[in-house]
């Protein structure tokens, strides 16, 4: 039996999407070997749920943020003597350690994403994370922090980059480009950014994009900024747009379906997310797969995805002047933007497909299980 522990699987978001990918691969891995699986999600609505990732489908149970019930369910699963437990966040490592007390033979894999391991974890979480048989990091930066801040031995860390969603890959093969979603600007040079606009996520740099736009408009008069996403910080960003005098050049889109989000990528000219805290950045993969030049922050895991000057541009977080220069250089030079976008697409096709991720995770699970024998 394989047990999967997740913080959340149903909502939009990078960690949630990564969780769905891991669950799909783990379910397939279990089926191919005749194993059962049991997936538990702490924060999703209560009861059973079915999720599809491409052609694959898996089942899981939600516990509506009820930590005691979630913990009891994990202990019951441990009583069935599972071979492997996979936890999709370091904060779930103590649950894995608790399960190991009941089933000493189980092996464990814990995923680390980025910001959550940039500072030393508390004693309980840190000790539990160090007891994992394998910790998977999507980027060199996250792997570095696991060693320097969490004191995890390098031999217990494996880098495994995330891949594109299979549905996104399928849309890329469609012969006809998707139509623009409602309120998406036409006859304009579009800068696109995608994220969650909450106060806790201000590190993503949406405010810096807005602050950079007045400078961009001096050179590219028809430039517009499209911000896709929801969150409690959106009113502040809307006020910043008004205060900066560029509200007429900014569009906030939210509540989009996946096909509408794909259309935003397809019809933008440049993608930008000048974040300082991305552990990896799935949105960069999506933009690059659509052959769009990407601008990211020169921090965290983003440099793993974007090769500065080749498949995109990197800028220091919070520097509106350098960000505006990067945007102008791409919007004012379509041939350069096209070349960078084309190289970005090639890089995604070579290194960041779902199939490649599936192969890497299956190999990691196999390696951990082999240690058991």
pLDDT, tens digit (0-9, with 9 covering 90-100), for 9-26: 999 888 999 999 999 999
Is the distance from CB of 60 to CB of 9 less than 8 angstroms? yes
d(CA 73, CA 177): 45
Give the Cα separation of 373 and 364 in Å (integer). 15
DSSP string, 133-175: SEEEESSHHHHHHHHHTT---GGGEEE------HHHHHHHT-S
Q: Is the alpha carbon torsion for 316, 318, 320, 323 positive or negative?
A: positive
Compute the distance between CA of residue 329 and CA of residue 189 in angstroms, rounded to an integer. Answer: 13
Report CA-CA distances (Å) from 40 to 15, 84, 92: 15, 14, 11
252: which strand partners? 227
Across all residues in the chain, what is the average pLDDT? Answer: 95
pLDDT exceeds 80 at position 63: yes
Q: How confident is the model at residue 176 (pLDDT cuts 50, 70, 90)?
A: confident
- Radius of gyration, alpha carbons of the chain: 21
Task: Measure the CA–CA gap between 270 and 189, rounded to whole angstroms.
Answer: 8
How far apart (Å, rounded) are the C-alpha atoms in residues 7 and 42?
5
> What span, in angstroms and rounded, lies between the C-alpha atoms of 63 and 40?
8
Mean pLDDT of all residues in 369-373: 72
SS3 252: strand
Planar angle of CA 338, 343, 349, nearest 5 degrees? 125
- Residue ranges and CATH numbers for the domains of the chain are 2-163+354-371 (3.40.50.2000), 167-351 (3.40.50.2000)
The CA distance from 227 to 224, in Å, is 10
pLDDT higher than threshold 90 for residue 373: no
The CA distances from residue 29 to 3, 69, 236, 287, 372, in Å, are 12, 27, 45, 29, 17
If you average pLDDT over residues 291-296, what whole number do you get? Answer: 97
Give the rounded percent of residues in the chain with a pLDDT score beyond 70: 99
The arithmetic mean of pLDDT across residues 30-45, rounded, is 97
CA distance 63 to 330: 46
Q: Per-residue confidence at 177, pLDDT binned at 50, 70, 90?
A: confident
User: How would residue 187 be classed by pLDDT, with cut points 50, 70 and 90?
Assistant: confident
Q: In terms of pLDDT, which residue wins out, 103 or 118? A: 118
| pLDDT (0 to 100) of residue 13 | 85
List the strands of the sheet with 223-228, edge to edge: 250-253, 223-228, 189-194, 270-273, 294-297, 312-315
E strands along 255-305, which residues? 270-273, 294-297
- Say if residue 339's pLDDT is above 90: yes
Between CA 171 and CA 286 the distance in angstroms is 11
DSSP reduced 3-state for 47? strand
In which residue are the tokens 């394998």 written? 134
What is the spatial distance between Cα 272 and Cα 191, in angstroms, rounded to a whole number?
A: 7
The pLDDT of residue 324 is 97
């Amino acid at each position: 039996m394989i047990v999967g522990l997740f913080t959340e699987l149903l909502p939009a978001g990078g960690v949630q999407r990564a969780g769905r990918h891991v669950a799909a691969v783990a379910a397939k891995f279990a089926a191919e070997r005749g194993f059962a699986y049991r997936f538990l999600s702490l924060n999703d609505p209560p009861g059973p749920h079915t999720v599809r990732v491409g052609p694959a489908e898996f089942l899981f149970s939600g516990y509506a943020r009820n930590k005691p019930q979630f913990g009891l369910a994990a202990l019951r699963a441990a009583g069935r003597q599972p071979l492997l437990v996979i936890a999709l966040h370091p904060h779930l490592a103590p649950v894995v350690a608790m399960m190991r007390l009941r089933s000493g033979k189980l092996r464990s894999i814990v995923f680390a994403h980025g910001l959550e391991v940039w500072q030393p974890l508390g004693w309980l979480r840190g000790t539990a994370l160090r007891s994992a048989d394998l910790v998977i990091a999507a980027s060199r930066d996250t792997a570095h922090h696991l060693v320097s801040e969490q004191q995890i031995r390098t031999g217990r860390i494996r880098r495994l980059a995330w891949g594109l969603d299979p549905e996104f890959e399928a849309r890329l093969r469609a012969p006809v480009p998707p139509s623009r979603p409602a309120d998406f600007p036409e006859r304009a040079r579009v800068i696109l950014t995608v994220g969650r606009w909450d106060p806790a996520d201000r590190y993503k740099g949406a405010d810096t994009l807005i602050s950079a736009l007045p400078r961009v408009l001096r050179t590219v008069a028809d430039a517009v900024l499209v911000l896709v996403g929801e969150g409690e910080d959106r009113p502040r960003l809307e006020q910043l747009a008004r205060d900066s005098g560029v509200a007429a050049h900014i569009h906030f889109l939210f509540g989009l379906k996946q096909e509408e989000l794909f259309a935003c990528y397809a019809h933008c000219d440049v993608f930008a997310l000048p974040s300082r805290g991305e552990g990896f950045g799935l949105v960069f993969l999506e933009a690059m797969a659509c052959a769009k030049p990407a601008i990211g922050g020169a921090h965290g895991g983003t440099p793993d995805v974007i090769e500065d000057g080749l498949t995109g541009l990197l800028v220091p977080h919070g520097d509106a002047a350098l960000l505006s220069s990067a945007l102008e250089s791409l919007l004012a030079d379509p041939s350069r933007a096209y070349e960078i976008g084309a190289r970005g697409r090639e890089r995604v096709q070579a290194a960041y497909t779902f199939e490649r991720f599936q192969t890497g995770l299956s190999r990691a699970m196999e390696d951990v299980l082999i240690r058991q024998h």
